[in-house]
Structure 1
């Protein structure tokens, strides 16, 4: 059964991130009185951001009655505003090395390309527009477009439904965090590929048991080439 679809994460996997996401999250928490070290924030950046905010509040707020939906929404609004401004104005919005070339090879082989993300759609749309990726991908699904974000498989389920992909056995999932890997596993993806270009190192990814760990996104082609004749011919 050949791979028909590759689902990529965004920040840290396909889009360069000099920790802008983690710093924006840190600043949003700080604006509401929660000073949290960046090393405690980075590991949860793959989660849907309201969920990540709640996780941090539960760790750092002793008065649990203060952890309300309104507080979570207010902090998330602060984060979203900061991220949209960053992605609209920064000159640092660029693809990671070999991303666009990998997209081109996959599409030439007839493989669909999807992006999913822990960002809300309003942030993700700005990134797609700034990079000019509207015609390079088949679909993008953000965490606020489904009931449950990662590590639940809801975003991949939506992608499958929209693209007419019947089985997760024909899907490869690629991402740089724990929740990317668990999303792929929970969906039943044939390949669940961790990548070291973002939040997690190889050593940090290994305990979550991805099928592969790579250092460059172009390695995806070699992994799935055995299943896709056109890619196999390109490799030879």
Structure 2
């Protein structure tokens, strides 16, 4: 035969699946960093915010594990505690981390500027909204209690406790999609501020939008970002955007407030028979 049939989805977008910290709330994704820095400081081995950010987006137990594996941290831990960190060390740190993270979440859960308006716009558009996160269920419930008071209640919320493996594997995204009763991955968009979250969306076969300014890649609180000159902001924006594009993001914008044009363009591409 000279031709082969190829099935393509050409309908509208059906769902948007968003990360939490740095994407919808907590400008700068500060809550995990503050809790991790405090955890390691209390353990006698301080880590810098930059070190704490490196594994951002992953399961928080795995996040702590990756910090412990950093040569500087591992060496410092052995000097302070007389042994290299092991599985018992990880278990103990994670147990201590959970209440610290819940406490900090209460201080860092304000919706990102423009998020409420964008969420309302997506709902008016008929899109189903899901959320997933590297937080465990206790932490996630703390976040949900905070954002509910601000008017955000996603129809599907998936955390690392709900799946066998977290990011960059696609299980959380796919569970969101199934919870939302969306039957086609091409009709879904994953929005995330971390490179591993973009990888998750790509591994799920979804469109992906990276957020360069509001989350982990720039890593500044809102007032710190606003205090920078336009030139300083541009330098940080460009570096962050490059990292997210290198991770495979289809689009990169500053924050969730800038999502509308991306959704419009994805629907145009879908109608033309394009796929992620």
Tell me the TM-score range normalised by the shorter chain. Answer: 0.7 to 0.9
- Report the CA distance shift for 1:28/1:17 in structure 2 as closer, same or farther (over 3 A): farther
* TM-score, with structure 2 as normaliser: 0.75
Gap runs ≥5 in structure 2: 1-10, 218-239, 269-276
**For residues 71 and 166 of structure 1, what CA distance do their matches in structure 2 show?**
42
Runs of 4+ in 1 over 3 A off after TM superposition: 62-66, 133-136, 226-229
* Deviating more after overlay: 114-123 vs 129-138: 129-138
Contact kept in structure 1, 2:131 and 2:156, CA below 8 Å: yes
**Cα deviation digits, residues 21-45 of structure 1 (max 9, x gap):** 2121122123334332221111312
Cα offset, 1:227, TM superposition: 5.6
**For residues 65 and 87 of structure 1, what CA distance do their matches in structure 2 show?**
30
Cα offset, 1:226, TM superposition: 4.5
Contact kept in structure 2, 1:104 and 1:136, CA below 8 Å: no
**Cα deviation digits, residues 158-201 of structure 1 (max 9, x gap):** 11222222221111000111111100111110x21100211112
* Aligned counterpart in structure 2 of residue 86 of structure 1, from 90, 104, 111: 104
Match of 2:264 in 1: 225
* Aligned counterpart in structure 2 of residue 43 of structure 1, from 41, 54, 76: 54
**For residues 31 and 263 of structure 2, what CA distance do their matches in structure 1 show?**
31
* Aligned counterpart in structure 1 of residue 74 of structure 2, from 61, 69, 77: 61
1:5 aligns with 2:12: no
Match of 1:23 in 2: 34
1:163 aligns with 2:174: no
1:214 aligns with 2:253: yes
Match of 1:147 in 2: 164
Contact kept in structure 2, 1:54 and 1:67, CA below 8 Å: no
**Number of paired residues?**
225
Match of 2:127 in 1: 111
**For residues 266 and 65 of structure 2, what CA distance do their matches in structure 1 show?**
41
- Report the CA distance shift for 1:77/1:17 in structure 2 as closer, same or farther (over 3 A): farther
Contact kept in structure 1, 2:194 and 2:210, CA below 8 Å: yes
Question: Between Structure 1 and Structure 2, whose CA radius of gyration is higher?
Answer: 2
Match of 2:220 in 1: none
Gap runs ≥5 in structure 1: 230-236
Match of 2:93 in 1: 75
- Report the CA distance shift for 1:21/1:135 in structure 2 as closer, same or farther (over 3 A): closer
**For residues 93 and 170 of structure 1, what CA distance do their matches in structure 2 show?**
29
Q: How much is the aligned-residue C-alpha RMSD, in angstroms?
A: 2.1
**For residues 26 and 183 of structure 2, what CA distance do their matches in structure 1 show?**
31
Contact kept in structure 2, 1:192 and 1:212, CA below 8 Å: yes
Contact kept in structure 1, 2:116 and 2:151, CA below 8 Å: no
